[in-house]
Amino acid sequence: MENFCLEEARALSALLCSNCGQPFTLIAGIRSLSFHCPSGHSTLLSHLIRRRAGVPLEALEDLSLAWEGKLRSLRSTAAQAGADGYPDLASNFHREIALLQSRQEALWNELGAAELRNYRERSLAAGA
């Protein structure tokens, strides 16, 4: 599990706060993602992308990949806990899985919306 936390932190270190230049350290939220830096600044992913603040999409892809690895590990652990007769522990893992899946879905949705906006803008510019 530590490996996934390190991968997540590495991905976040590439996302810098536009106010102070510090890397974001925390992702909060379920349906919408907000990023927070050590100075206390925060921004929603949607605002970050719309502002075109130099958001490295590779970092967001890395974040998604780190979450995917963590999900695989959590699913395996939950299945093992259930098989070993620990339904409450398995239930805790399933809640964590649901939360992480919601965050990943929010990330994918926002990246998809950003891609659609870019496509529309390129189409309009080409037609003008």
Q: What number of CA atoms fall less than 13 Å from residue 45's CA on the CB side?
A: 27
Q: What is the DSSP letter of 22?
A: P
Pair 44, 81: CB distance under 8 Å: no
Of 14, 34, 38, which is closest to residue 25 (Cα–Cα)?
A: 38
Q: In the prediction, which pLDDT does 3 show?
A: 66
The count of C-alpha atoms lying within 13 angstroms of the C-alpha of 73, restricted to the half-sphere facing its C-beta, is 12
- The Cα 48–Cα 10 span in angstroms is 18
H or E stretch covering 53: none
CB of 12 within 8 A of CB of 27? yes
Q: What is the pTM of this model?
A: 0.76
Residues of the chain with pLDDT under 50: none
Sign of CA dihedral 79, 85, 89, 94: positive
Of 122, 110, 112, the residue nearest 48 (C-alpha):
110
pLDDT of residue 96: 93
